[in-house]
Amino acid sequence: MIIVLIGYMASGKSTIGKKLADKLNYGFIDLDHFIESKENLSVREIFKTKGEIYFRKQEALNLTSILQSNDKIVLSLGGGTPCFGNNMEHILNTQNVKSIYLKNSISSLVKKLYKKKTKRPLISHIETKEAMTEFVAKHLFERVQFYNQSEIHIDTDGKSKKKIVEEVILKLF
């Protein structure tokens, strides 16, 4: 089975994904890191030198190839992955794939994103917390229609990582 973690930037996809994979004894792939190691460039550098369209193409191609695997994998997507091309459709229509949406409130996302904005090209230019809140609210509003298609939804606000992992496992099996 491939367990796909979906959610906005800073929703905990990579951290929870790693912990979940350890607990289940599954392999772990972070799609951003997978692309970074293939390209030998960070996501920020790919956006800067090759552009977002190139990144989205690589994202879709690598997602498709990983979804073909028969291995037991936890796959953490980038925040935008389900929202481009037919990536979400593809995730939902591939057998043996379970999609999980890690749902955070806007205020908890902004709190985390504001501290770690430099490596994220879509938000690195935003200067104040107020502007970040406005951006995230609008952006999430556009994206939530894709995230909401996930088979399993987990509210993560105020929960420890351990509790989130337990909840995911409980809903999966």
The site for ligand S3P (CB under 6 A) is made up of 9, 13, 32, 43, 78-80, 120-122
Minimum gap (Å) between residue 59 Cβ and ligand S3P = 7
C-alpha distance from residue 32 to each of 22, 41, 153, 157, 172 (Å)? 19, 11, 22, 24, 24
SS3 content of the chain, % helix, strand, coil (to 5): 55, 15, 30
Nearer of residues 23 and 135 to ligand S3P, judged by Cβ: 135
Minimum gap (Å) between residue 9 Cβ and ligand S3P = 4
Burial class (CB in 10 A: 0-12, 13-18, 19+), 112: middle
Minimum gap (Å) between residue 79 Cβ and ligand S3P = 3
| Residue 15 annotated as lining a ligand binding site | yes
Name the binding residues for Mg(2+).
Answer: 14
Name the binding residues for ATP.
Answer: 10-15, 120
